[in-house]
Structure 1
């Protein structure tokens, strides 16, 4: 229930981002119903979506720590549904821009609320792999968005001004299904306890334990770990900032490096890959979905197949290894592209292999910032690093990528590849020195709650 109710939001995000990337060529064609250019879609629209996600993460992140995980992950999903529905009925470019921003605003809020709830509900021995697979499910949505675009953009089936609208309508339908499941996902017992609602937390945990004991036919072992909590209503921004940037400044630097690297790379690729295929390889706008589906499948398989190693081999080796290896593979792809050795199929294959590792690394960025800071700051920390990292890489990435690819010069696009690869390598080197060995450890042992008498570890 937790995985389906909370994790599937990444499917929606993947659907949203990929659909826009794949329909960019169709929206810019005469008769689409919108006076908009391909460069505006891959540049301005992409940047507005990411900017909305950054601001939404910060806004809802603070509310999530204050009012609870469950209230906010219901509100943010409702906002996403409304904004996506309004996007589907866009009649002008400004309307389209406004509601893409608001869609991002809702999705950004989801990141803070959902990652907090997931990590606080998943057992420590499986937290790494579950978190990675859930974050990697973004690419299931990307596969769906790519294949959906193929049918929706076929003018033999739908008129040119209707098909792209149906892609957004499907997002609304999926969101409504997720909302029905999500209503039954419990509040985080950790959040309940820290806010003085200990009886609710005890009742919730007891019911889960009773269900597990009934299914397994044996009593669960008692824990020998104890901490003393002094409930508190809220944490000030000043205390959050002091905790994250003073007590945990090495972890803060790590979070920024991981998010900036993956945000630049992924936002540039997802919004710009369709333009590369049509500009340099003469691929029809109706066929770009096939190529992107291959890349998206590789991205999902990365966290799925490598996720277990983050719990067994360990965080430091796997985070640094996936970032560095993907960066080196991307440098190789840039060289082959610049030398003219790639076709539409082979560049897709190169991207799929490189992003197999990059996707696991990118998912581990969310895992890292959600488990290495104290409970009271968790949602806000996720929001901050997502917002700052994504603003630095996710807004500049699409804008720069759109500028370089629209020139039609091979060298310019290869340069964009190299920038993304360099940032991934730098993040990997940072993780090699600063990543926290959080595998199979309770969240409280990684970072003591601020409500305990224990001083935070560095």
Structure 2
């Protein structure tokens, strides 16, 4: 039987050809899409974690102060915010494929320049520019995943792509152990960055084979191109099912796009912003408290710190796999809510383990906390990414990510300050409250919002 014969007539909001793509079984092209986009996401994680791994080395080489180190972190977060907002809009305006090629070009180019930095201030500028490329990835990649994957596999595929993050973190930790401990400190960190750029160039080559989103093409009136891409993905001609008379989406300016998002889709935008703020504040807060408060409290030596991150990220990968396994089965609402609730509880458990001053206990608790935290945001991204209309999906994702970076910026200094001036228990209580923001955001959405499991994108947008 032809795939087109299985078209679900109940999904009237979607054009017939796009609904055919939503009804496809899993095909080899979907595996290629998932792996190629996942590899790029792994590089983003590598980039974030490699900087944290070499900060101590750079402080000694360049004799930087604590304030200068914090400026580097701030520049990185601002760069991600700018990249997510600006390139999110560009992905909606010019297409997903162009942007997720451009993002890796920006990333790889400025990563090379980071490796060649002659001093601290050059490094800050190049890290800011690299972060713009990483921020752009958040928007372009998350928009592309849902538009290229069948509806009943969309959550799982999105979660699998996101789960390349802990793999990138583990790679960064292992490379740090080698390049920093084996090579001279003055050049070891440069080799680590350069290797990331080399892998990025390979990813650019792999991404060139990926198609443009047929949803984006159809929404912008490119019906023949959408039909060609649909045929490539489906393995059969669906040209006759794409209505050429369907009008193209309006082209809005950046501010007008944001205004329409906030006006017509406020609930969805609020959900994305709050979920991303919650996970960013919680995740960055966790990874600030561990090296700056918890490990010094336990008197853990510098040579042991990378192992905490490597083992912890093994737990993170397992959490991502759990999210990927249940997101399309249990549904978005229950999966996201339970993961955020477990993340909050796991932060309390890590705080309790810290107070016992048991190194083994802290390692186990941190691994569990990383499992729950990573499962939370890996489940959240596919959930709010699919809710925005195609013509403004990347903009909505970018705005949510940008809002979330506010949480990432305020959480680490606030939590460390509370730990130093009040108590460690109070700091972990505040950290747990950041994760509870996501739980609170999901409660009204669970009651009144749309469940995206097995739903076509156009159907979700029409709800």
Q: Does 1:428 align with 2:439?
A: yes
User: CA offset at residue 431 of structure 1?
Assistant: 0.7
The equivalent position to 1:363 in structure 2, one of 350, 372, 378, is 378
Aligned residue in 2 for 1:386: 401
Unaligned stretches of 5+ residues in structure 1: 214-218, 449-456
* 3-state DSSP of counterpart to 2:277: helix
Task: State the Cα deviation string for residues 341-391 of structure 1 (Å, max 9, x = none).
Answer: 03333212112112212212112222122111111110100000100121x
Aligned residue in 2 for 1:169: 194
Hey, what's the Cα distance between the residues in 2 that align with 1:374 and 1:266? 28
The equivalent position to 2:412 in structure 1, one of 398, 401, 407, is 398
User: CA offset at residue 426 of structure 1?
Assistant: 2.4
**How do 1:85-96 and structure 2 match up within 5 A?**
85-96=112-123
Aligned residue in 1 for 2:428: 417
User: CA offset at residue 271 of structure 1?
Assistant: 5.1
Unaligned stretches of 5+ residues in structure 2: 1-31
Hey, what's the Cα distance between the residues in 1 that align with 2:132 and 2:174? 26
Q: 1:26 to 1:404 in 2, by over 3 A?
A: farther
Q: 1:239 to 1:97 in 2, by over 3 A?
A: closer
User: CA offset at residue 108 of structure 1?
Assistant: 0.3
Q: 1:257 to 1:140 in 2, by over 3 A?
A: same
Aligned residue in 2 for 1:36: 64
Hey, what's the Cα distance between the residues in 2 that align with 1:268 and 1:347? 16
Would the aligned equivalents of 2:319 and 2:374 in 1 still touch at CA under 8 Å? yes
Aligned residue in 2 for 1:262: 279
C-alpha RMSD of the superposition: 2.4
Q: 1:360 to 1:229 in 2, by over 3 A?
A: farther
Hey, what's the Cα distance between the residues in 2 that align with 1:242 and 1:165? 43
* 3-state DSSP of counterpart to 1:384: helix
How many residue pairs end up in the alignment?
428
Aligned residue in 2 for 1:443: 457
- For normalisation by structure 2, the TM-score amounts to 0.86
- For normalisation by structure 1, the TM-score amounts to 0.87
The equivalent position to 2:228 in structure 1, one of 176, 188, 203, is 203
* 3-state DSSP of counterpart to 1:28: helix
Of Structure 1 and Structure 2, the greater helix share is in 2
The equivalent position to 2:359 in structure 1, one of 338, 344, 348, is 344
Would the aligned equivalents of 1:264 and 1:397 in 2 still touch at CA under 8 Å? yes
Hey, what's the Cα distance between the residues in 1 that align with 2:207 and 2:389? 25
Aligned residue in 2 for 1:63: 90
Aligned residue in 1 for 2:21: none
Hey, what's the Cα distance between the residues in 1 that align with 2:190 and 2:83? 24
User: CA offset at residue 122 of structure 1?
Assistant: 0.8
